[in-house]
Amino acid sequence: MSAIEIKDLSFIYSKGTPYQKQALKDVDLSVEEGTVLGVVGATGSGKSTLIQHLNGLIRIQDKKRGSVVVNGLDASKRKERARLRFEVGMVFQYPEYQLFEDTVAKDVAFGPKNMKLSKEEIDLRVRRALELVGLNYEGFAERSPFDLSGGEKRRVAIAGVIAMQPKVLVLDEPVAGLDPVGRRELLDLIGRLRREVSPTVLIVSHNMDDIASVADRVIALKDGEIVADGTPKQIFGDRALVESIGLEVPPAKRVADMLEERGIQLPPQIIDMDELEEALAALLKQKEGIADEAQTAEATCAEEGDMRSQDDSCAVCRKTPDEEGEDV
């Protein structure tokens, strides 16, 4: 089933003024439910404009031509657009700046309250959302969001979005400003949220490494148009394509390319660090294996002399008994 259907979507900022800027051009996009879609592109390529159409935050400009439908809800219709606010959870860049209530629990409850749920249901959802983002309810519920660490604040902000149990979760640059550990934790959290709350996830990032490690599919925007669409391997494995979009290949791909230029053979299309680590470990093991084999062979030739060919050189290590003697 398709979770998102976008057809012929264009958008122009400051239309009819000297500052007019076309941010989207005839975008067509269909996303299957259960997909983690990475949205990449240089700054100004239209990523945020595109995703803000999904919950109706930005209205469709030309309704006769363009359409946006999410889980069957049509963003051009007022009533359906109102429901989209809850159906599509939007986590903006630096979401911690949007915390405003005096306790964590109240902040997380804000969305569910707007959904007019019962008090019991709201409490349940707040509890579950906090536990899901890895914040113990008893320990955090009554604390002020402003006394938390940066990473904890971001988790509270995300809990506020997932407490609405949106079917589609959209994250705009979710790991911006986090240290490597915080980044890894947040990417793991996204995997958990996908399994337990929001089956379809869109992640906007200009960090190709992050997208390579979490996405099933990647679209690339350039000047408001989708210029590439494929699996992370198809997109990030193609250096010319990535550079033409104005981006850099993921670090793992850069390292793999450098090693290959030096004649080190690796499996094709390595794009993330885990894969690179595995490939290097296998290579090392293989080299150790060859070294061990050669050693064993030499020992065998020297001790038993049973692997000699006619010219008396060893079939494995290619040395004559004299040469072997020189080694000792």
Binding site for ligand ADP (CB under 6 A): 13-14, 21, 23, 41, 43-49
Which of 35/48 has CB closer to Mg ion?
A: 48
User: Residue holding tokens 């072997």?
Assistant: 324
User: Residue holding tokens 């990030």?
Assistant: 236
CA angle (34, 40, 41) in 5-degree steps: 155
Q: Provide, rounded to whole angstroms, the least separation between the CB of residue 257 and ligand ADP.
A: 26
In b/e form, how buried is each residue of 267-284, taking b as 16+ CB within 10 angstroms?
Answer: eeebbbeebbeebbeeee
Give the pairing of strands 168-172 and 200-204: parallel
Coil, helix or strand for 173? coil
Q: Provide, rounded to whole angstroms, the least separation between the CB of residue 220 and ligand ADP.
A: 11
Give the pairing of strands 36-41 and 21-32: unpaired
Q: Provide, rounded to whole angstroms, the least separation between the CB of residue 202 and ligand ADP.
A: 13
Q: Provide, rounded to whole angstroms, the least separation between the CB of residue 61 and Mg ion.
A: 18
Q: Which does 35 bind (CB under 5 to 8 A by kind): ligand ADP, Mg ion, none?
A: none
What binding mask, one character per residue, do residues 29-68 give for Mg ion by CB under 5 A, x or -? ------------------xx--------------------
Name residue 303's amino acid. E
71 contacts 87 by C-beta, under 8 angstroms? yes
Which of 27/164 has CB closer to ligand ADP?
A: 27
Q: Provide, rounded to whole angstroms, the least separation between the CB of residue 204 and ligand ADP.
A: 7
CA nearest to 105, candidates 132, 145, 134: 145
Coil, helix or strand for 24? strand
Which of 18/180 has CB closer to ligand ADP?
A: 18
Q: Which does 13 bind (CB under 5 to 8 A by kind): Mg ion, ligand ADP, none?
A: ligand ADP
Which of 13/86 has CB closer to ligand ADP?
A: 13
Residues forming the site for Mg ion (CB under 5 A): 47-48
